[in-house]
Amino acid sequence: MSYFLPASVRVAFLVLFAASIWLAPPYAARAEDQPVSILAAKIGGHIHPSICCTKDGTLVVVYKLGTVLLRSRSTDGGATWEKPEPIPTSAKRPDVIREVKVFEVYPGTADVLPDDRILVTWNYIADDKKNDGYYERALLYTLSSDQGRTWSEQALIGPVDGKHLGAVRHNVLSWSDGRWLLPLRVGPPRLFSPQSGETTVFPLVGPDGKQHSFQQIVRTAKGTLLAMGPAFLRSTDEGRTWQAVENFPAKPDGDSAEGRYLTTLRDGGVLVTWGIGNDNLGLRYNYSADDGVTWNPQTVTLLPETNVIARYYSARTVQVDDRHIGSVYMNRDGVHFLKVNLDRLTK
């Protein structure tokens, strides 16, 4: 791992560190169902927080601020959070992208691999379109083997046929042979081998015969694959065939940003967390006890008077322990975490 950074980047980090002293001081433990702020500041733009939980219970939240990804950790179930720190590798322009005046670091997602490493994805965008209207959006990743304390050098996924793969806006799913399933925002999902660098299309065709993009794909504790896109689909044969599930409570309903997120639970249950748009109030939860086949007739809404921006698979929910889940969400006042007793959502 490399920790050397150019002087300009180090200065930017110092500014972020100084800001974090007042943006996100340590917070005392609070009662369940009361949000804890990870970042307390007026924010805007592509913040898009993600959350994951390592095997020892460490919670890691990753989001974008300025031109770098930040991460914050909690080792007490979300009661208190460390000051956000930059992920150094996310501030570096990849060699395959030309230097431009206007660029963006666009956040992807944070996931825990089977070996307990944390995988973080993002895009480096060269935001000056060429003559053909295409602008470069490299898909990058970094890994942490120590619960988010340090990070590997960045690595590139793609490009394919001369073009970069663009955004991964929801979870990366580990495959049994060590590959990662990338549900891309544009184009079909792809399986990627970090060993060889090869990518292959993962055909995900529902009963309508269409290959959809921008789907969240998860594996339940029973091994079933669920895909949440324009339709809600299940597969019990590793994705060779898919069946549509009727009466799914969190239908997109014309919301192209799809503020929905699936969470698989250790006991075989499945949660969906969702909201609609920038003016959304509260967090909606619904629960399936039978592997995603049927869902509770009643939806639970928490924080019903709180602004929660529900865009691009936010808010996101992860299981914290056997009795609790935790949701990370954002609004114009910062990035926040809500811990909830599962009994409130599964009855």
| Distance (Å, whole) CA 70 – CA 107 | 10
Cα 55 to Cα 141: distance, rounded to the nearest angstrom: 21
Closest alpha carbon to 212 in 184, 239, 192, 237: 184
pLDDT, tens digit only, all 347 positions of the chain = 433 344 444 434 434 443 443 343 333 333 457 999 999 999 988 899 999 999 999 999 999 999 999 999 999 999 999 999 999 999 999 988 888 788 889 999 999 999 999 999 999 988 666 544 556 789 999 999 999 999 999 999 999 988 888 888 789 999 989 999 999 888 889 999 999 999 999 988 888 888 877 789 999 999 999 999 888 999 999 999 999 999 999 987 766 667 899 999 999 999 999 998 888 999 999 999 999 999 999 999 999 999 999 987 789 999 999 999 999 999 999 999 999 999 999 97
Cα 262 to Cα 220: distance, rounded to the nearest angstrom: 10
Helices marked H in the chain: 7-23, 343-346
10 three-class SS: helix
Q: What structural domains and CATH numbers belong to the chain?
A: 7-346 (2.120.10.10)
Q: Determine contact, residues 227/264, Cβ cutoff 8 Å.
A: no
Side chain identity at residue 33, one-letter code: D
Alpha-carbon distance of 182 to 122, in angstroms, equals: 12
C-alpha atoms less than 13 angstroms from C-alpha of 250 in its C-beta half-sphere:
32
Residue type, 199: T
Distance from the first to the final alpha carbon of the chain: 47
Question: Residues 192, 310, 102, 18: is their CA dihedral positive or negative?
Answer: negative
